[in-house]
Amino acid sequence: MENPISSLSILVRDRLFMRLTILIVLTSFVSNGIFQIHTFFLNTVVALNVNIFGDLMLLGGMAALVAQVLLLEPIFSAIGGVGNLVMSPVLGQASDVYGRKPFLVLSQVVRVGTPFTVMYFMQPGGSIAPYFILRLVDSGFGTAGVTSAAVADVVAPEDRAVAFGITFASLSVGYCISAFTAPFFSREHILHIAAGLFVARVLWAIFILPETLPIRAQANKARWVVENPISSMSILFRNQLFMRLTLLIALTTFVMFGTFQIQTFFLNVSTPSEFIV
pLDDT tens, 133-177? Answer: 888 888 778 788 898 889 999 888 888 888 888 888 887 777 777
**Is pLDDT at 112 greater than 80 in this prediction?**
yes
Query: Mean of the per-residue pLDDT values for the chain?
Result: 73
What residue ranges in the chain does DSSP mark as E strands? none
- Model confidence band, residue 100 (pLDDT cutoffs 50, 70, 90): very high
- Beta carbons within 8 Å of 124's beta carbon, 6+ residues apart: none
**Is pLDDT at 215 greater than 90 in this prediction?**
no
CA distance 32 to 24: 12
- Model confidence band, residue 106 (pLDDT cutoffs 50, 70, 90): very high
Contact 202, 108 (CB under 8 A): yes
pLDDT tens, 233-249? Answer: 777 777 788 888 888 88
DSSP for 197-222? HHHHHHHIIIIISPP-S-GGGSPPTT
**Is pLDDT at 62 greater than 70 in this prediction?**
no
For 257, the 3-state DSSP assignment is: helix
pLDDT tens, 39-61? Answer: 544 444 433 333 444 444 444 44
**Is pLDDT at 63 greater than 60 in this prediction?**
no
CA 78, 148, 17, 101 torsion-angle sign? negative
The pLDDT score that the predictor gives to residue 262 is 58
The pLDDT score that the predictor gives to residue 67 is 55
